[in-house]
Structure 1
Amino acid sequence: MKARPFVAVSGCFLTYLGLGVIHLFGNINPYITSYLRKRVDNNTTYEQTAWLIYTTESVGSLFFCGVWLADRIGHRSSILIGTVIFSFGTAATYWTIQHSLEATIATLGVVVNVGFDCCYGFPLATAMMWFPNNKGLMAGIVSAGMALTPVLMNSLHTFFVNPNNLQTDADGYFYDPGILDRVPTLFLIIGGIQGGILLIGVLLYQEPPSEINEGKEVERSSASAQRESDCEDKTCILAFQEDSTNQKVEETQPSFSRKVGVVPKEALRMKEFYILLIMCVGSLHSSLFVNNFYKTYGQTFINDDTFLAGTGSASGVVHAVLRVVMGLVLDKISFKLTSLILTGLKTVLLFTLVATSYGGKVMFVIWICGIFAAFPVEFVCIPAAIAEVFGKKHTAMIYGMIYFVAGTSIIIWPPMFQVIIPYFGWFGTFCLIGSISFIGFLATMFFPEKHHTQPTKLTVCNEEKEKVFYGTVVLRK
């Protein structure tokens, strides 16, 4: 029984490790675009294949629908269904990529992410329920699974597709027949490996036994507190305690608001929801751009495909480690300070990323790893903040609502890139993306340090004794 929580969290971690295909696009995007350009349509460009990654993110942002499904058929059943759909969509890209970009988007961008939606939303919340006192750490560990996917797979994929470390032509595309012949088969490999990881994850996945009865336990706690209050005199003095050392505390109650949680409808009326939404938009848009284009940009001045794949792996390590570290940090310091540091770092590095073409390989690796180090904002900090502000009960659904808006809004970028990159170059593009990140930084500054769902310390007194309660107190005359 003592090992049960760790086994369950391992299942959550492996589920995210299997779902991390989106973090592979930065490495395999040149192979995909080159194949489509040479074998399918000579007019295909990187700006056009950006539709693939941004469609992936937009459909994946619908994972709150998977949360809704899981609440009705069970979490494990939802993950199992998602695993089948996810693996099928990835493997089916073997055929669709040989047909057209649109068909590739249909399988790799849409079908795969329907499976993603069935799996993604609740493992993070489930892990935090298993360890409620370490929700930041759990968010970091579980979400690190997706960050580790490129660490394990980038070098494998590059070795399979480009074993001789051949370079792109002057226009930035691969034309070697041996490389292009292997691209469709790559998706059979990805589908098999990622599907196997997901299957192991669903076998280990378990829900906390207290989750089903949580609502009843809260009701019993509330009823008990109500009965205890009935035993007191009808006249009560309620006072906020600024200095607990000046009061005698004989008994405490847990915060009812934290246990019950804020329902999604109520969250829409809270300013914290919209601040977190702006933060997620600013962070996700910039993160997704770098995740998709770091190798494409690097190829403009680094003629070493293996090195660029290694850069993706190294940044994945940094990303995964920082997710766990930020989880630990969030349990010690405020969400606001942590997010300000990360978004500020990302903004500065984005505005100066163009300088890496003068600094060479070393500077390029440092800047890309630095930007990836700031990715935990949308994947760790914001979910942990949601659990803190709105309660853990509806974390997955509220995070899904926020991520849905942020994820669907990114669909504006593919047509914009077809104008921005050719006419303004990489410098103009980096400045625009950096500005989006800066908006997220400004929103973070307005996030309140305290919010009304935090426990309020109240004193209930009569002639004989005084008690301190945390949470909602019903006053009666």
Structure 2
Amino acid sequence: MIFASPIERLLGIHFSILIGDVIVSVSILSGYFAVKEPLALTLVYGGLQGFFVGVVYSLMVKLLLQTMQDHGGLANGIMSAGPVFGAALFIAMGYIFVNPHQVKPDLKFQKKVFFSNNDLINKVPNYFLVVGSLTASFTLIGVALMYYGSQESIKNDEEKARKESITPTKGGSKVQNSSIESGKHEELPLHFTRARVYSNCIQEQSETGSFGSIPSKGVIEDSVSSHKSMDIKKTHAEIEASPLEAIKTVKFWLVSLAYMASNHTTFLHLNLYKQYGQRIIRDNKLFVTTGIISNVSLVIVRPLVGAASDRIGIRNINVFLNAASCILMCLMVVSLHTFPWVYMVLITVEFMGVSPHTLLFSLLSAYEFGKSHCASNMGLIRSGNILIVLLEPLFIDAMINAIGWDWLFLSGSMTSAIATLAIIALDWC
């Protein structure tokens, strides 16, 4: 993600997304050849695809925020629901093309179980061809819609600017806004606004035969009040900070702290809720069903979270969800030992809180540091988390051995509390 802005400046945002999508599709298709070499598969399917998925995602966030300025959160929420469908589709393709007969792994090696069925193993390369072809097809459709949507947005903006170039006044006359006509959108000081209104009124009245009359007090007052309302509507995100500028601010480190802290909670819940719960609840099918329900709910929850960020603010929704995660992680520990069925319900509820993690902080980054460099700023924030992600599995094992499962999940509650406080502290920066 951190290289998204330089790539965008070099190629343009639309072409960068197109190139990224093509490389992602090619990297998946390349798995057909690379699957026999673990290192090659890791570099191509893992490294290359992972890099450009980050670039495409971050640039799509920026494009949607710029294209749908009033509903950027909702648009990104809908976009972030896409991977849920993609994951479900790719899993289904695995069952259909690789293991349609539900063959079980039977080869045990170092506490792990592998497949020994040669027919099944030989079908694995075909999986990459199928999934890669599907990805390429969806990419083609998505790119076409992206270009079409962007062109429509430009037309709508031009039409809106044309309509706003004529401002109705209280007296029923129309004042021509010369700054919009000339393509300049800067806001003038109030005394210049008064002069411009007076000049335009004189010009209009000269055309109607009433040249020389003084503009009414209502015209001037309306212009002044209109300008003041424009000042009130200025958004926080007018501050545009590059990564080098952002990293020098206290806000950057607070956002980074919140991201890293909440990422620990997200990792615990998404990866370990089943292992933790199976210490008490032995029904594996119940966990599978709960996981499916939780993932399906994300299709609805993520757009709702995005829409809520548009309505009540991204800081507020971040505080709410992180505070909720703090409480829910505590309740999960308590309920597992008292009312196990409540634990199963809380799994789904907590899924809704932690799953929009990347979406929340992408929008928060754009809000705090502006849209121009939001892709690279988010990449910079996430880059500080790379070491933690790599060490998290080892760190988790050490914590389980040292303090046990219950305190491990309570640590997730603590880190959510830290994230909540860090976001609240942004109000004082």
* Fold equivalence (TM over 0.5): yes
Q: Distance in 1 between matches of 2:37 and 2:337?
A: 39
Q: Is the 8 A contact 1:139 1:327 kept in 2?
A: yes
Tell me, yes or no, if structure 1 residue 221 matches structure 2 residue 185. Answer: yes
Deviation at residue 87 of structure 1 after TM alignment: 2.4
Q: Which residue of 1 aligns with 2:240?
A: 262
d(CA) in 2 for partners of 1:211 and 1:378? 32
1:136 aligns with 2:73: yes
Q: Distance between the aligned counterparts of 1:179 and 1:352, measured in 2? A: 43
1:112 aligns with 2:112: no
Q: Could you tell which deviates more after superposition, 203-212 or 148-157?
A: 203-212
How far the C-alpha of 1:69 sits from its partner, in A, is: 0.6
Tell me how far 1:346 sits from its aligned partner.
2.3
Match of 2:218 in 1: none
CA contact (8 A) 1:294 1:368 kept: yes
Identity of aligned residues (%): 21
Q: Is 1:251 the counterpart of 2:248 in the alignment?
A: no
In structure 2, distance between residues paired with 1:211 and 1:422: 60
CA-CA distance at 1:114 after TM superposition: 2.3
What's the counterpart of residue 316 of structure 1?
295
Unaligned runs of 5+ in 2: 162-178, 197-223
Residue-by-residue CA offset, 1:333-374 (whole Å, 9 max, x unaligned): 243442233113323444555678779996565333222211
> 1:209 — aligned with what?
154
Local SS of the residue matching 2:185: helix
Secondary structure at 1:132 match in 2:
coil
Q: CA–CA distance in 1 between the matches of 2:355 and 2:315? A: 13
Residue 66 of structure 1 corresponds to 4
Equivalent position amino acid for 1:198 in 2:
T
**Who is 2:375 aligned against?**
396
**Alignment partners' CA distance in 1, 2:310 and 2:383:** 26
The answer on 1:406 being equivalent to 2:385 is yes
CA gap 1:175/1:431 in 2 versus in 1, 3 angstroms: farther
How many Å separate the matches in 2 of 1:222 and 1:119? 32
Question: Which stretch of the first structure deviates more once superposed, 197-206 or 360-369?
Answer: 360-369
Equivalent residue letter for 2:227: E
**Preserved contact between residue 339 and residue 377 of structure 1 (Cα < 8 Å):** no
Q: Please state how far the C-alpha of 1:110 moved relative to its aligned partner.
A: 0.7
| Corresponding residue number in structure 2 for 1:125 | 62
Counterpart-to-counterpart distance in 1, 2:395 and 2:156: 45
**Contact 2:240/2:370 (CA < 8 Å) preserved in 1?**
yes
From the CA coordinates, give the structure whose radius of gyration is larger: 2
- In structure 2, do the counterparts of structure 1 residues 84 and 294 end up closer, same or farther at CA, with 3 Å as the change threshold? farther
Alignment of 1:298-377 (within 5 A): 304=284, 311-351=290-330, 353=332, 365-375=344-354
Choose which of 338, 343, 363 in structure 2 pairs with 1:384.
Answer: 363
Residues 117-173 of structure 1: CA deviation (Å, up to 9, x unaligned): 331212122112222122222232222223433344444434555545566789574
Secondary structure of the residue aligned to 2:311 is coil
RMSD (CA atoms): 4.2
TM-score (norm 1): 0.63
Which range moved further: 177-186 or 106-115? 177-186
Q: Structure 1: which amino acid aligns with 2:14? A: R
| Matched AA of 1:366 | V
* Structure 2 equivalent of residue 194 of structure 1: 135
Deviations 1:195-241 (A, max 9, x none): 32223212221345389999x98993337448816959xxxxxxxxx
Preserved CA contact (<8 Å) 2:78 2:303? yes
Sort the Cα spacing of 1:157 and 1:204 in 2 relative to 1 into closer, same or farther, 3 A.
same
Distance change >3 Å, CA 71–CA 360, structure 1 → 2: farther
Give the distance between the partners of 2:293 and 2:334, measured in 1 at CA: 20
Q: Work out the number of aligned pairs and report it.
A: 370
| Residue-by-residue CA offset, 1:365-400 (whole Å, 9 max, x unaligned) | 533322221136533333333343433333333333
What amino acid sits opposite 2:184 in the alignment?
A: R
C-alpha contact 2:78 2:302 (8 A) present in aligned 1: yes
**Residue among 243, 251, 255 paired with 1:272:** 251
Aligned pairs for 1:172-183 within 5 A = 173-175=113-115, 177=117, 182-183=123-124
Read off the aligned partner of 2:306 and give its amino acid letter: G
Distance 1:258 1:72, change over 3 A: farther
Are 1:127 and 1:142, in contact at CA under 8 Å, matched by a contact in 2? no
Amino acid at match of 2:7: L
Report how far residue 325 of structure 1 moved: 0.9
Partner Cα distance (1:303, 1:189) in 2: 34
